[in-house]
Amino acid sequence: MKTIQIAIDGPASSGKSTVAKIIAKDFGYTYLDTGAMYRAATYMALKNQISPEEPSQLLELLEQYPISFGRSENGEQLVFVGDVDVTNPIRENEVTNAVSAFAAIPAVREKLVALQQEIAQQGGIVMDGRDIGTVVLPDAELKIFLVASVDERAERRYKENLERGISADLEVLKKEIADRDYKDSHRSVSPLRPADDSITFDTTGVSISDVVAFIEEKAKKILDK
């Protein structure tokens, strides 16, 4: 059966992972949350008091304790560092606020991109991140760039945090999101930007099911060709 690669990029909390997960399930494809990999690397760095200026020790740790994915009994994707489950800790504020600095390290990106490309070899895939359409899967048949206003994204993250039992302040979240957007789009390696052949979709005020329907329609057209 013909399968395709679907790349979904965009800034923090633009809805990428929510829609990517649904599309992967509907199509029977693998879903890969690349942000979780940068978060796992950041978690490891913070745990071992490694600064972004001295990444060599982090690279060694990534060799020793590889990042991998698993599935819980109820089908949720789990993230591991070595054999430690870091699914929940990588969502903590401490990691969220430090991740841009570690994601800007070229050697860290090189390592994680290679792993992402290896996972994509397995067949149909929906991958979300910041550089999927531009760097990781430049030949992806479908590239989507999701955007949404800072206010709406902060509100989404606020709700998500509350559901996860993580404390949140809406105004602080707005500032953090704007800050992370700036850092992710202004770094010298693989900055956040839409690929030339991507479709940009503004999800402000659009329901998850409508975003999913839009992307799935595009994907089906490609599959029917």
Q: Which residues bind ligand DC (CB under 6 A)?
A: 12, 34-35, 38-39, 99-100, 103, 129-131, 180, 184
Of 39 and 111, nearer to ligand DC (C-beta) is 39
CB burial string 141-150: b at 16+ within 10 A, e below: bbbbbbbbeb
CB of 97 to ligand DC, least distance (A): 9
CB of 75 to ligand DC, least distance (A): 20
Of 124 and 128, nearer to ligand DC (C-beta) is 128
Of 37 and 219, nearer to ligand DC (C-beta) is 37
Residues in the chain: 225
Tokens of 152: 């709406």
CB of 57 to ligand DC, least distance (A): 20
Of 27 and 34, nearer to ligand DC (C-beta) is 34
CB of 146 to ligand DC, least distance (A): 11
CB of 175 to ligand DC, least distance (A): 14
CB of 14 to ligand DC, least distance (A): 9
Of 39 and 61, nearer to ligand DC (C-beta) is 39
The amino acid at 204: T
Of 50 and 103, nearer to ligand DC (C-beta) is 103
